[in-house]
């Protein structure tokens, strides 16, 4: 049996809801206006903003599952993480329950029975944001956190009382040839499996997505949120996922003073807009059973993006994409370069050999559910314009990810 066939077989088996998970308890009467929520992934990028939004726009207490050895260490991680984005407010400490866990994939998150039962009885809704985001991992390496961790979150949703689940999936689950002949992709379409689904991350998110959908059919109030390319806020530009293909390619362009000419359009959605939308939609029972897609309605043509970066003072000579990749490979092989620069360019070359998630040709997509759910709220994406791109580059320069104009060699 081929490796592809074996992985596919395993994926389909993993996407089946375990027989011991059944939603036999009544739905919590506070599911829409929870007194307490359980949040995973609070020390991640979007998870941190979700925690901030929950503390800002709701009255709920937040039980945050954090990888740490004890409660003090778990709280310290949360405070440090939110402070790094300018989101920490000491007044919110009393509403946060930092719960140390070793591995979300452990049964009951590795918690003693009495503590797990207390958690299951206390919370009315679950925001499951935790996940391993590494495009290089094979499926079996991504599975433990992204699939088994999701299964454990669903198990918690069924324990003691039925809780609402708000799951952070990804639009990458649609990046296959399975939908290439569709006239349009809507949020009501299920992501069909196809062997062209690339990478362990995408495969694990597809399985987890299908697990949550299966639980929804069994009675769990579920919403599935599928963002793509979540970036920093317009105000600060701060983000921690600088391993995404887009920041990697832009950094390589800046360092090489050259950019590929591409016929693609680039979407990016600020993290604060996504977090506000998710928390708002969680308060509507009409959201249960629906999926929501987060992509910019007016994506920016790649070559226009290059123009905005040139306006910041960077030299970017245009060239065909294949020539640009060869340039990366050639420069990365230069023995005179500093080791860290060589390592980055080699990494950038590997990342851009098959930039599946940036260039994948897919049918037109709609976000009708999202548009209807946010109508009248004032929650909307900012334009992808010079101000937004400047905020990202200002932050990237601040953290040393890219040099300033004129500092490249």
CA distance 344 to 341: 5
Q: How many CA atoms lie within 13 A of 2 on its CB side?
A: 4
Q: In order along the chain (409 residues), what is the average pLDDT of each group of 10 residues?
A: 71 93 96 97 96 97 96 97 95 97 93 96 97 78 93 97 97 86 90 87 94 97 95 90 80 90 91 97 95 95 96 96 85 66 60 54 86 96 96 94 80
pLDDT for res 58: 97
**DSSP-assigned letters across all residues of 97-144:** EEEEES-TTSGGGG--HHHHHHHHHH-SEEEE------TTS-HHHHHI
Pair of tokens at residue 389? 């791109």
Domain ranges of the chain: 3-227, 245-267+299-362+383-398
pLDDT for res 195: 86
User: Three-state DSSP class for 46?
Assistant: helix
pLDDT for res 104: 92
pLDDT for res 136: 67
pLDDT for res 336: 61
pLDDT for res 353: 45
CATH architecture of the domain covering 3-227: 3-Layer(aba) Sandwich (3.40)
| CB contact at 8 A, 63 and 122 | yes
**DSSP-assigned letters across all residues of 339-366:** HHHHHHHHHHHHHHHS-HHHH-----B-
* pTM for this model (two decimals): 0.92
């Amino acid at each position: 049996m081929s490796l592809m066939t074996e992985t596919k077989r395993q994926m389909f088996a993993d996407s089946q809801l375990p027989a011991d998970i059944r939603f036999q308890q009544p739905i919590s009467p506070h599911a829409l206006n929870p007194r307490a929520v359980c949040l995973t992934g609070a020390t991640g990028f979007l998870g941190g903003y979700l925690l901030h939004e929950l503390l800002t726009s709701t009255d709920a207490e937040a039980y945050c599952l954090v990888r740490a050895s004890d409660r003090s260490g778990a709280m310290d991680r949360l405070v440090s993480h939110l402070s790094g984005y300018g989101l920490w407010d000491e007044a919110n400490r009393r509403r946060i329950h930092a719960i140390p866990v070793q591995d979300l994939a452990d049964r009951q998150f590795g918690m003693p029975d009495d503590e797990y039962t207390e958690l299951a009885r206390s919370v009315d809704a679950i925001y499951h944001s935790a996940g391993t985001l590494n495009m290089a991992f094979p499926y079996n390496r991504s599975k433990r956190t992204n699939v088994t961790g999701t299964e454990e979150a669903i198990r918690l949703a069924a324990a003691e009382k039925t809780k609402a689940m708000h799951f952070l999936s990804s639009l990458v689950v649609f990046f296959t040839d399975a939908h290439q002949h569709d006239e349009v992709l809507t949020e009501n379409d299920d992501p069909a499996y196809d062997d062209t689904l690339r990478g362990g991350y995408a495969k694990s998110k597809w399985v987890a997505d299908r697990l949550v959908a299966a639980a929804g059919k069994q009675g769990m109030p579920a919403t599935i949120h599928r963002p793509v390319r979540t970036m920093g806020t317009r105000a600060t530009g701060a983000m921690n996922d600088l391993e995404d293909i887009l920041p990697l390619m832009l950094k390589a362009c800046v360092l090489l003073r050259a950019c590929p000419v591409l016929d693609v359009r680039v979407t990016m959605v600020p993290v604060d807009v996504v977090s506000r939308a998710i928390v708002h939609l969680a308060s509507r029972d009409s959201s249960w059973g629906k999926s929501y897609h987060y992509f910019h309605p007016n994506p920016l043509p790649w070559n226009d993006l290059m123009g905005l970066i040139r306006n910041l003072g960077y030299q970017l000579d245009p060239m065909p994409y294949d020539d640009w990749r060869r340039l990366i490979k050639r420069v990365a092989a230069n023995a005179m370069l500093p080791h860290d620069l060589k390592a980055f360019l080699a990494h950038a070359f590997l990342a851009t050999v098959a930039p599946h998630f940036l260039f994948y040709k897919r049918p037109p997509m709609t976000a009708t559910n999202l548009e209807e759910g946010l109508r009248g709220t004032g929650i909307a994406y900012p334009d992808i314009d010079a101000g937004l791109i400047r905020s990202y580059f200002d932050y990237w320069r601040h953290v040393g990810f890219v040099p300033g104009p004129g500092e490249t060699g």
